[in-house]
A and B are shown apart, each in its own frame.
Chain A
Amino acid sequence: GAVVSQHPSRVICKSGTSVKIECRSLDFQATTMFWYRQFPKQSLMLMATSNEGSKATYEQGVEKDKFLINHASLTLSTLTVTSAHPEDSSFYICSARVSGPNTGELFFGEGSRLTVL
Chain B
Amino acid sequence: GENVEQHPSTLSVQEGDSAVIKCTYSDSASNYFPWYKQELGKGPQLIIDIRSNVGEKKDQRIAVTLNKTAKHFSLHITETQPEDSAVYFCAANNAGGTSYGKLTFGQGTILTVHP
Q: Which residues of A contact B45 (CB under 8 A)?
A: 108
A6: interface (CB < 8 Å): yes
B42 beta carbon closer than 8 Å to chain A: yes
Residue of B41, B44, B49, B100 ringed by the most chain A CB atoms within 10 A: B44
Across the interface, name the chain A residue whose C-beta is closest to B4: A43
CB contact list, A42-101 vs B, under 8 A: 42-44, 46, 49, 93, 97
Partner of A46, one of B34, B102, B106: B102
In the assembled complex, how far is the CB of residue A3 from the closest CB belonging to chain B, in whole angstroms? 11
Q: Chain A: how many interface residues by the 8 Å CB criterion?
A: 23
Q: Does the CB pair A49–B102 fall under 8 Å?
A: yes
- Complex contacts, A34 vs chain B, CB 8 Å: 101-103
Q: How large is the interface on B (under 10, 10 to 19, 20 to 34, 35 or more residues)?
A: 20 to 34
Distance of B46 from chain A, by nearest CB (Å): 6
B43 & A104 in contact (Cβ 8 Å cutoff): no
Q: Which residue, B51, B93, B102, B108, has most C-beta atoms of chain A within 10 A?
A: B102
User: Which residues of chain A (17-42) have a CB below 8 Å from chain B?
Assistant: 32, 34, 42
Query: B46 and A43: CB pair below 8 A?
Result: no
- The verdict on A103 contacting B41 (CB below 8 Å), with A34-B101, A97-B101 known, is no
Q: B43 contacts A111, CB within 8 Å?
A: yes
Contacts of A111 in B (CB 8 A): 41-43
Indicate if B95 sits at the interface (CB-CB under 8 A).
yes
A43 touches B89 (CB 8 A): yes
A43/B101 in contact, CB under 8 A: no
Closest 6 CB pairs of A and B: A104-B95, A104-B32, A108-B43, A97-B101, A111-B43, A110-B43
